[in-house]
Amino acid sequence: MESIQSIKQRFEIIGNDVKLNRAIEKAIQVAPTDISVLVTGESGVGKEAIPKIIHSLSHRKHAKYIAVNCGAIPEGTIDSELFGHEKGAFTGATATRSGYFEVADGGTIFLDEVGELPLTTQVRLLRVLENGEFLKVGSSQVQKTDVRIVAATNVNMFEAIKKEKFREDLYYRLSTVEINIPPLRERKEDIHLLFRKFASDFGQKYKMPTIRLDDDAVQLLLKYRWPGNIRQLRNIAEQISVLEESRLISLATLNSYLPNSSTSNLPAIVGKEKKEGDFSTEREILYKVLFDMKGDLNDLKKLTLELLKHNDSEKVQEENENLIRKIYGDNEEEYAEQEDSPSEILQLPEPYIEKPIVKSPQQEDKYHFAEEIQEEETLSLQDKEIELIKKSLERNKGKRKAASAELGISERTLYRKIKQYDL
């Protein structure tokens, strides 16, 4: 078994932090096995080094190593990318294609940003992890693969599970061994060491003297929280190396390159819970506005019906005072002025006053419905989507092609929705 120091030199890992050493030690220990590993940590901490260590020290080191960024692949094509597809499986599938799991058979697949995977793909991945079986898109033939999966994410997995964005069973299957990479702010002793390494590299790259920090600048470097971690530190070192003529960097110079350095040292608690009635999307806001307008319209229908029945605006206003206030607000003075006005909106024309009105049972039922429509309706987008799909399928007698055209979505999307909602 190789030592931690030799692994650091081999993969150019810089730092002596205890937590970092423990993460590397875990990677060395699990490498000879085939168990799944989940690498966690904030964005920019260098999670991609751990899968490389695991692959290079495993018995699969002579097979393929494929790194896949799950967050960069569109939702509609990710199944095809991972598992492949058959010819004619969807529009544009002109030939059979092998997916990453088929190509990497016998090797290792690194699934970066695994927390961004769609739920349907998570089900497929769970089956691969359990028995090594998968299906190509558009195929009914089960294929076998022998792949070691190493996943990484910067998402809080327990929060994602709570919000039903990630399957709990998949999480526990992936995290047989969990390796956490500490953020840069917890590695105070390594910050200056990393900066000197980056400064030296960029000095050689751009053929200029290496920059150095004075004592005050070093202290600022250590106090800064580095929300972008090692990636941000590297970018800052590159900027200063290229832009500054003086090779000795002062506190003021370094401070000018650090975004919000004056306020970023203070921790902040941000409430992320969604309050009741807080609409996060434009669609939800439109639903709310439309439902409110629908309720107001029904109230106006009811008020108009009362005027037609009694032909007495004053009596109607007295009996329906609450309804009028609900529709028009609480400005009583404005209504008093409107009562004396000869051009009152609610006043009926003369011919309709004299003409007797006979109500049919059908009409009575219509207005009775208008009175009872005040029930609270759901604002769930998922429920509305399911309801619309069901109605469209019933209207088109189960013909999915016609239903997809009516809904304004592709057939493939409709098939996916039907499968997702078990319709």
d(CA 304, CA 346): 8
In this prediction, what percent of the chain has a pLDDT beyond 70? 79
Rounded to two decimals, the pTM is 0.61
Angle at 360 between CA 355 and CA 363, to 5 degrees: 100
- Please give the Cα distance from 144 to 155 (Å, whole number): 30
Fold of 185-257: Helicase, Ruva Protein; domain 3 (1.10.8)
Strands (E) located in 1-62: 37-40
Domain 4-182 - what CATH class? alpha beta
**Whole-number pLDDT of residue 403:** 83
The H or E element containing residue 179 is strand 177-180
Domain 381-421 has CATH 1.10.10: yes
Domain map (residue ranges) of the chain: 4-182, 185-257, 282-372, 381-421
| Weakest mean pLDDT among 48-52, 225-229, 263-267, 298-302 | 263-267
- Whole-angstrom distance, CA of residue 337 vs CA of residue 67: 74
Predicted confidence (pLDDT) per residue in 105-123, tens digit: 999 999 999 999 999 999 9
- Residue pLDDT, tens place only, 313-352: 676 677 777 767 766 665 544 444 544 544 444 454 554 4
Q: Is the pLDDT of residue 378 over 80?
A: no
Chain-centre distance of CA 256, in angstroms?
A: 33
CB < 8 Å & 24+ apart, contacts of 6-10: 7/53, 10/56
Structure tokens at 243: 């832009």
